[in-house]
Structure 1
């Protein structure tokens, strides 16, 4: 018995004397758009702090629900939390705090063989509502349009519907599980069109990744703008731009807060740029005042 007790004491001392690496890891879940970005953040952060950041996808709805139900430390979202979700969170004793992490421009992608170079926001809406069914109706080839979109739990699905369609999607739209699946679908489909987070199609230097063709979008200004036009995205001229969000409990642990502050630091924002999104840079503090009090 004494030997067993001695062994337990030794094990306890060993556990409590370990460094930061033994601390509970940070759990992050949610938006597929943010998945690669936050995974890379986590890979850099564990080398700095010894604290593991476990990142999984599932869609913005999963991330927000994780915060609302208190089963994740950070919820990634490419849309804002809804009033009914905030209400439910408060009923669960959670005070959600919004973090603006970076800026995204939703890219409209087609098969590389498509001769079309631009679409208006009205044309995009008509295509995704199923009113326009052939590319020749919008100045393209005589090919049937094949719609690719996201699942309902996706923040990109919700944002595109709210800001472009303002109606229901066509029931012929193929609902992809993530950005990578959509990219591959459009790449292989001569009539394909999809919408996805910029980080999945743009390199750090502003060039586009091979495999799909990124279209310019004509918005209210009447000018055809590509999502790689930083000034147009930041000014709002590019019609499908948005913040990338994370949600945390206002009463988060210091461990979680330290990671979020790292994400907003110059080093973290450099990763935002590296993964194809637009960083907040010096605006990080201005846009997230609660974190810097």
Structure 2
């Protein structure tokens, strides 16, 4: 908390205040809920003396055109402004009355305090002819005792009209009321002393200045607060080698880059050579370290690693999905488990000999080429255990296209990595193989083959019986020290920010609620 100084606190508070001002300004000007609103205000309330009438004064009514100035003794003149000060236009249909009834009723006192209206005249700004016409439309502007009756007047946003009313006596401003109803809106008294149009809350220039000022304040705060965001708790320095699964290697490589970015001084090298080989490499490194402690090596395995290494510690990382793939010249979208097993037993030498449900009417006359992984592969071990239910047939080809062993019943080759399998299947018509699901997404020249009509879908883990899946395990030599790079990176991968990368690459982290259940069941 070294950054907490007086100047930094002032800078941050200033920045927050600037942002708050901008948010409020934008809300008021753009984002607040829009409503229809009719406002009215009293702009003049003045007694009219007899001598004023004698000078030729008077009030002319719109309805009758009569001059009332000669009877102005004790009278009062009131100027009212009726305005649309809401966000939306007010139309004829927005008044809650029938077309034959007045839309608004302006009353001047009530009960014993009521003051009769002697005359009224309306004034409308030049250019607003539609407002003027509405005031003359039946039922016209008129009088009724202590009230002025106003017809339905359509007002656009910001439009208004004024009513000059002659009363038989004085009336307090507070006793002047407008009764009516605006559908989906309201009628309210305004108290502004501004006699005419109000300027908008914020002009375009004011909005621009506000936003620019806020940006400057935030930049100032960023310069003052020099302390950089601390790295995640538990970062460690040093070097670490991650070995094992080639199927999971692309995910780990991405996580390693993220860790190195978050944790300065750490170098994580991914050197995948197969699940079984990776576990053996770790065991050998641990044996060489002897009493020196746990070596900086982490081994990843598709499924449980080979037995016989009691010093190794197993850690759950994620659930991975795998898939069968075929060359695009083989038009099969789904195979039953029995059809897959027939292919890998060597019962079918050519694709057009394959039988069973769900197959296209005509399969190509192409040789069945089994492209497999070597014995160190966890992907292969999972395929044999969960799909075939037995080991694959013997290795019979070095180029994956021709048989080297005349006794072999099927063409089958073994390759060192997932990338090699995908490239070979895409190159050879008639080829079929298997790989980690995420690696297949960008491959060209081949397609995924469903099993028993089931597709490998991450969201369906735990509910779908799709068989070709497995837990990714991480192995360490004993329990690495809590402050070591091995322990820190393992935590980052299995429970920290690395989980986002694991999920984005098509795997389900075991540390998630759903992952805990599935990893625990397996």
| TM-score normalised according to structure 1 size | 0.77
Show the counterpart of 1:75: 299
Query: Which whole-Å CA distance do the structure 2 matches of 1:236 and 1:65 have between them?
Result: 34
Show the counterpart of 2:420: 181
Deviation at 1:30, TM superposition (A): 0.9
In terms of fraction of residues, the more strand-rich structure is 2
Show the counterpart of 1:216: 450
Indicate conservation of the 8 Å contact 1:130/1:169, yes or no: no
SS of 2:429's equivalent in the other structure is: coil
Indicate conservation of the 8 Å contact 1:31/1:78, yes or no: yes
Q: 1:55 aligns with which of 249, 258, 270?
A: 270
Query: Which whole-Å CA distance do the structure 1 matches of 2:317 and 2:448 have between them?
Result: 24
Any idea what the Cα deviations from partners look like across 1:168-189, whole Å, max 9, x if unmatched?
3233311111111111111111
Show the counterpart of 1:192: 431
Deviation at 1:266, TM superposition (A): 5.2
> Which has more radius of gyration?
2
Indicate conservation of the 8 Å contact 2:382/2:469, yes or no: no
Q: 2:243 aligns with which of 29, 35, 38?
A: 29
Give the total of aligned pairs. Answer: 251
* Ranges in structure 2 where 5+ consecutive residues have no aligned partner: 1-233, 287-294, 395-410
Q: Which has the higher contact order (CA 8 A, sep 6+)?
A: 1
Query: Which whole-Å CA distance do the structure 2 matches of 1:169 and 1:22 have between them?
Result: 43
Quote the RMSD (CA, aligned, Å): 2.6
Show the counterpart of 1:262: 492
In terms of fraction of residues, the more helix-rich structure is 1
Q: Indicate whether 1:274 and 2:501 are aligned.
A: no
Query: Which whole-Å CA distance do the structure 1 matches of 2:283 and 2:376 have between them?
Result: 15
Show the counterpart of 1:17: none
Q: Indicate whether 1:225 and 2:447 are aligned.
A: no
Show the counterpart of 2:390: 167
Q: 2:257 aligns with which of 22, 27, 43?
A: 43
Show the counterpart of 2:475: 247
* Ranges in structure 1 where 5+ consecutive residues have no aligned partner: 1-19, 203-207, 219-223
The verdict on how the C-alpha distance between 1:163 and 1:74 changes in structure 2, with shifts beyond 3 A counting, is: same
The verdict on how the C-alpha distance between 1:58 and 1:72 changes in structure 2, with shifts beyond 3 A counting, is: farther
Query: Which whole-Å CA distance do the structure 2 matches of 1:187 and 1:78 have between them?
Result: 24
